[in-house]
Amino acid sequence: MGKAHPPEKVKLIVGFISNNTALFDKIKSILEKKLKNPVDFESPLLAFVHTDYYNEEMGTGLKRKFLSFKRIVPLENIAKIKLLANKIEKKNSINEKRNINIDPGYVDLSKLVLFSTKDYSHRMHIGKGIFAEATLFYKDKKFCAWPWTYPDYKTDAYISIFNTIREIYKKDLAG
């Protein structure tokens, strides 16, 4: 019989999507204050071109950026980060339309997990109306996609970013 034990702490990440890149620095600062956790990695700006899902709400010319946070965090109550992201999105909306999409999740040694308010066959409820999905898995020294992985998360650019964040996380675990 297996013995229950607490999971390792995880590396918190956030992805931004917007055509107003000035919001990225503003929201980064808000998150650092609210989470009491400084950013230790910031990706370059990436064109967000793999879907037009957000165009009606946020317009065209969308950009993406990823951040990771210095202090690794326990998994207990991790759903709160998605609730915080939703509040920040709403506060920065105009006429009920978001100006920024904030996608929180985490990296551990074996996977990248994203949070959502939408249920689906491959997502598990983790509390407070928030669902989690393993978006990427780690194998053969790199992150790999599942059949349900979003197209942009399958790109070499994104995989490289998450591999870098995983290396930072490994150093965090080593102390």
Going from N- to C-terminal start, the domains of the chain cover 11-174
Exposed e or buried b per residue across 66-100, where buried means at least 16 C-beta atoms within 10 angstroms of its C-beta:
bbbbeebbebeebbebbbbbbebeeebeeeeebbb
pLDDT at site 159: 98
Residue 175's pLDDT is what?
A: 82
Q: How far apart are CA 60 and CA 116, in angstroms?
A: 23
**Half-sphere exposure (CA, 13 Å, Cβ side) for 106?**
23
Q: Please report the pLDDT score of residue 8 as a whole number.
A: 92
Quote the pLDDT of residue 78.
86
Q: Of 57, 63, 67, 66, which is closest to residue 99 (Cα–Cα)?
A: 57
Give the pLDDT of residue 11. 98
Q: Are 119 and 107 in contact (CB under 8 A)?
A: no
pLDDT of residue 137: 99
Res 76: pLDDT: 85
**What's the pLDDT score for residue 96?**
87
Residue written as tokens 């998994």? 75
Task: Reduce the DSSP state of residue 1 to 3 states and report it.
Answer: coil
Low-confidence ranges of the chain (pLDDT < 50): none
Q: What does the pLDDT read at residue 39?
A: 99
Residue 79 has a pLDDT of 87
The residues, any chain, with a CB within 8 Å of residue 41's CB and separated by 6 or more, are: 66, 67, 68, 164, 165, 168
